Structure 1
Amino acid sequence: MPNIRRLDPTASPLDYFGSELRRYRESAGLSQKELGDCIFCTGSLVGQIETAHKVPTREFAERADAALMTDGCFSRLVGLVLRSQLPTWFQAYAEMEGNASYISTYQCQLVYGLLQTPDYASALLRVDHPDKVEDMVAARMDRQRVLKKEQQPAVWVILDESVLLQRVGSRRVMREQLAHLLSFRDDPWVHIQVLPFDVGAHTGMMGSFTLLRFDSDPDIHYSESYDQGHMTANPEVIRERSVGYARLQGAALSPEDSASLIARVMEERYGDEPADDSCLA
């Protein structure tokens, strides 16, 4: 008899998902291979998820719900599982971000997570987490579901011009990332501005920060260091950073001029892709 790893469902959302998947599958009288055939994956993948060695995708969860007739159990659980793959110190912010009605962020180094492409996120995360890239990218992409909610938040993003020039991944990755930013030009809920170099000294030079506004809860200011995030609802901080953000908006290019700059950088810096550039993706 094989030595089947039994999970402690209280250990983590991933362990709970795996134990529930096994319980529902066994109750249905299906082997791992048979369930895999039903949901268009391998039995090995089913086994890896049941033993918490693999993080399920949202698509996997939805197909498992349909095959095992679980009334949406796994579709509800998978969000918790994916969020648990985020750094522990970031999870509280991700939950608040998902509930915000208005998000305004200034980013001095990177494209904001809600606007990153999978390849850009992968190239970025591979630097420090080469063994967890796939799971962390899946978690980051799941955060972006907030932009598809029926009542999606208004999102205002100011990117330092250096964000467009700092190559993350290959030139193809950067071209696709900038094209993705341009895809929001006609989105009434997402506004992107670029803060150009020639602005000189400005109120965002202390670093990136985000302001979250809610319908019925206090505003939140968020910034982060290498190993932790910092959230506060201190009215003085909110007031000071709100004024600072308004000043950044006034100094930045308009959304229309920002789109023109993004398009120009995309063509001039990342347009002519060498044949061997794909190896850097």
Structure 2
Amino acid sequence: MVHIQSLDPTASPLDYYGWELRRQREAHGLKQSQLGEIIFCTGSLVGQIETTKKVPTRDFSERVDAALGTDGLFSRLIGLVLRSQLPTWFQPYAEMEAKAAYISTYQAQLVYGLLQTEEYARAVLATGTSDDLEGLVGARMERQRVLEREQPPLTCVVLDEAVLLRPVGGREVMRRQLAHLLEFADHRSVHVQVLPNKAGAHASLDGAFNLLRFDDHPDVIYTEDLISGHMTADSATIREAFRRYARLQAAALSVEDSAGLITRVMEERYGDDSPTNELAMA
């Protein structure tokens, strides 16, 4: 007798997704292998998603909706599922980020999450301790959908030059990541500036931070330490953060000159003719 794992659909978004997938599949009289054939995957993968052993992707969800005629149900659920894969301490920030009208960030070590390529994100997240790397990568890619909204947030990013020079994932990964940054050079709502090494001491030597502004909510600032994140709407802290950010932007290269520096680093450090860089992780 085949043992069918029972799920509590109220336990988590992932449990609800798996429970609903099984319910809809059975309602259509399909075996896991049959649904797999229709959506171009294995029946084993369908079963693993139904039992929460694998986290679904957005592509999988859209295929299921098309196959089962579920009117976008799984495409709507996948956002909740992927956000639930984020660390618990990060989820409140991700929810606020998704609602922001204006994002400004200074990053001293890494490319900002909303601008990371999937392979760069995977290399970054692989340095952590989570057993579900693919779930974390999927969640990071899902966060980036905020930039695809009909009215995306105005996003201003200041990257320390060190971010460009640190070969996260290796040369090819970095080349593609820098090429991705260049795609934002003429973007209407994303502005990327580089703070050059020659700027010397600057207004945020003590680390990275993100500022979020909203149409109907107080501004917040987000920072991270080694193991967690911190978010506050304290007015004095916000004022100081915006003062520092203005100074960082003033010290950074213009968007145009930043694109020139990114291009130069991409070609000279990560180009086909550049010396081979050893694999490195942030």
Kindly state the Cα deviation for residue 180 of structure 1 after the two structures are TM-superposed.
0.5
Q: Note the 1:233-248 alignment, pairs <5 A.
A: 233-248=233-248
The answer to whether the Cα contact below 8 Å between 1:172 and 1:273 also exists between their aligned partners in 2 is no
Kindly state the Cα deviation for residue 77 of structure 1 after the two structures are TM-superposed.
0.7
**What residue number does 1:137 align with?**
137
**What residue number does 1:19 align with?**
19
The answer to whether the Cα contact below 8 Å between 2:172 and 2:270 also exists between their aligned partners in 1 is yes
Kindly state the Cα deviation for residue 129 of structure 1 after the two structures are TM-superposed.
3.8
**What residue number does 1:95 align with?**
95
Sequence identity, in percent?
Answer: 64
The answer to whether the Cα contact below 8 Å between 2:167 and 2:277 also exists between their aligned partners in 1 is no
Indicate yes or no: 2:3 matched with 1:3: yes
The one-letter amino acid of 1:251's match is A
The one-letter amino acid of 2:91's match is Q
SS in 2 for 1:46: helix
Instruction: Quote the Cα distance in structure 2 between the aligned partners of 1:279 and 1:32.
Output: 40
The one-letter amino acid of 2:195's match is L
The one-letter amino acid of 1:106's match is Y
Which structure 1 residue ranges, 4+ long, deviate > 4 Å from structure 2?
Answer: 273-281
Instruction: Quote the Cα distance in structure 2 between the aligned partners of 1:78 and 1:43.
Output: 20
Q: Identify unmatched segments of 5+ residues in structure 2.
A: none
The answer to whether the Cα contact below 8 Å between 1:171 and 1:273 also exists between their aligned partners in 2 is no
Instruction: Quote the Cα distance in structure 2 between the aligned partners of 1:280 and 1:239.
Output: 37
Kindly state the Cα deviation for residue 6 of structure 1 after the two structures are TM-superposed.
0.8
**What residue number does 1:218 align with?**
218
Q: Identify unmatched segments of 5+ residues in structure 1.
A: none
Instruction: Quote the Cα distance in structure 2 between the aligned partners of 1:58 and 1:74.
Output: 8
**What residue number does 1:70 align with?**
70
**What residue number does 1:162 align with?**
162
Kindly state the Cα deviation for residue 76 of structure 1 after the two structures are TM-superposed.
1.0
Kindly state the Cα deviation for residue 134 of structure 1 after the two structures are TM-superposed.
1.5
Indicate yes or no: 2:181 matched with 1:187: no
Q: Deviations along 1:27-71, whole A, 9 cap, x unmatched?
A: 111100111111111111100000000000011111111211222
Task: Evaluate the alpha carbon distance shift between residue 26 and residue 275 of structure 1 in structure 2; reply closer, same or farther with a 3 A threshold.
Answer: farther
The alignment covers a number of residue pairs equal to 281
Indicate yes or no: 2:119 matched with 1:106: no
The answer to whether the Cα contact below 8 Å between 2:268 and 2:274 also exists between their aligned partners in 1 is no
Kindly state the Cα deviation for residue 154 of structure 1 after the two structures are TM-superposed.
0.5
Kindly state the Cα deviation for residue 278 of structure 1 after the two structures are TM-superposed.
10
Instruction: Quote the Cα distance in structure 2 between the aligned partners of 1:269 and 1:41.
Output: 39
Instruction: Quote the Cα distance in structure 2 between the aligned partners of 1:276 and 1:50.
Output: 44
| TM-score in terms of structure 2 length | 0.96
Q: Note the 1:117-136 alignment, pairs <5 A.
A: 117-129=117-129, 131-136=131-136
Task: Evaluate the alpha carbon distance shift between residue 275 and residue 14 of structure 1 in structure 2; reply closer, same or farther with a 3 A threshold.
Answer: farther
The one-letter amino acid of 1:2's match is V
SS in 2 for 1:105: strand
The answer to whether the Cα contact below 8 Å between 1:172 and 1:277 also exists between their aligned partners in 2 is no
The one-letter amino acid of 2:267's match is E
The one-letter amino acid of 2:225's match is S
SS in 1 for 2:41: coil
